[in-house]
Amino acid sequence: MLASMETIDATASWIAIAAIVYRFETRSELARTHLSMTLIPGVDSREFEFTREDFDYLRRIVTETTGIVSSEDKYTMYYSRLARRLRALGLTDFKAYRDYLQRNPESESIELVNSVTTNLTSFFRENRHFEFLRGSFIDEVKARGNRRLRIWSAGCSTGEEPYSIAMSLAEAIPDYRSWDIKILASDLDSNVVAKAASGVYDEARVDGLDPQYLKKYFHRGTGSNDGFVRVKPEILNLITFRQLNLLHSWPFSDIMDCIFCRNVVIYFDKPTKNKLVERYAQQLVPNGYLFMGHSESLYKSTDSFKLLGKTIYQKVA
C-alpha cells in the first residue's frame, strides 16, 4: 500500500554518503583498471580465464549491436560484469560463454549489452536543461498558443530523466492535464525500461529532490513498500516507455518538440553519432530542441543544429 507523501527526510547526509561511495567506487574501479593492465590476460588469478581475444570478441558484438565503442580500459569492467552472467548460466569459462552467445545470438546479445552498458542517471541531472524547459521553452509554446507537446527521452535509463521532464512540465503548466502531452521514454536495455516503467524508486534515489516535488509527485511506500517511493499516476501517465535501439528503425510517427539524448552518444564512434544526430533533426519540428549531455558536443558534427549554450541545441529551421 502506498500512502501520500507527507514528510520527507531531505537532509544532505544521503548526498554526502552517495558522494563518498561514488568516489570510493571510482577509485577502486581505477585501481582495478590499473591492476588489469599489469596482469597478463589468461594467466591472472581470476575466477574465469578472460583473454584479450574474449574481450575483443565481446566488445565487437557490443559495438555492432549498439554503436557503443568500448575502450581498452573497459577490460576489467567487462570481466567483472560478465563474470556474474557466467555464474548465473553455470558456465566455467569465457570460451563457453562465447559458444553460448553464438547459439543464442538474439537473447544473449541483449543480456551482454545490458551487462556492460552504463545506466548512470539521476533526477534533474544537469538541471539547467529542466530550467530551460520550465522557462524559455514553455513561454515560447504558450506564446504560440500551442497545447500539444511531444518530447522524447532517448536513452532514458531507469526513468529519472523522463520523470524529471514530466514534473518540469507539470510545474510550468498548471493546467497540464487539459493539454495533449506525450513523453516517449526509450532505452536499449530492457531491464532499465522495466524499472523505469514501474515508477518505483528506493528513497535514497530521491534524496536531494526538492521536498515540494516529492510531496506533489510521489507516493511514499508503507508496510512492505517502506523505503520506496512511487511516481504518482498523473505524472506516470504522461510517459510511454519502450525498449528501442537508437541505431535501428524508430517505429513511431510523432514529430518531437524536444529530444533529450544525454550521456548516450558519448559512447558512440563519430560516424554513428553524426548519423544519429541527423536522424534527430528529421524527427524534430522546425526550431525544435536537442539536449545533449554536459560533455557531449556537436561541434563540426552537423549543420542541422545551432548551439544555444549549456549543451542545448536548436534545429535550424
Ligand X SMILES: C[S@@+](CC[C@H](N)C(=O)[O-])C[C@H]1O[C@@H](n2cnc3c(N)ncnc32)[C@H](O)[C@@H]1O
CB of 98 to ligand X, least distance (A): 22
| Residues shown for the chain | 317
| Minimum CB distance to ligand X smaller for 186 or for 302 | 186
Give the sign of the dihedral formed by CA 209, CA 211, CA 217, CA 223.
Answer: positive
The grid cell for 192 is 532499465
Q: 179: helix, coil or strand?
A: coil
Q: In the set 166, 188, 239, 298, which binds ligand X (CB under 6 A)?
A: 188
Residues 190-219 that bind ligand X (CB under 6 A): 192
Residues 9-68 that bind ligand X (CB under 6 A): 66-68
| Minimum CB distance to ligand X smaller for 76 or for 311 | 311
The continuous run of DSSP H or E covering 18 comes out as: helix 13-38
Geometric angle at alpha carbon 213, from 210 and 218, rounded to 5°: 125
CA-wise closest residue to 156 among 114, 184, 126 = 184
Q: Please identify every residue annotated as catalytic.
A: 81, 187
Residues 152-181 that bind ligand X (CB under 6 A): 155, 157, 161
**What x-and-dash track marks residues 110-139 binding ligand X by CB under 6 A?**
-------xxxxx---x--------------
Does the protein bind ligand X through residue 293 (CB under 6 A)? yes
Q: In the set 54, 108, 187, 207, which binds ligand X (CB under 6 A)?
A: 187
Q: In the set 2, 89, 172, 247, which binds ligand X (CB under 6 A)?
A: 247
Amino acid at residue number 54: D
First to last CA, the chain: 49
CB of 161 to ligand X, least distance (A): 5
What residues have CB less than 8 Å from 262, skipping those under 6 apart?
125, 126, 129, 155, 161, 291, 292, 293, 296, 311
- What does the binding site for ligand X look like in residue numbers (CB under 6 A)? 66-68, 117-121, 125, 155, 157, 161, 187-189, 192, 245-247, 262-264, 293
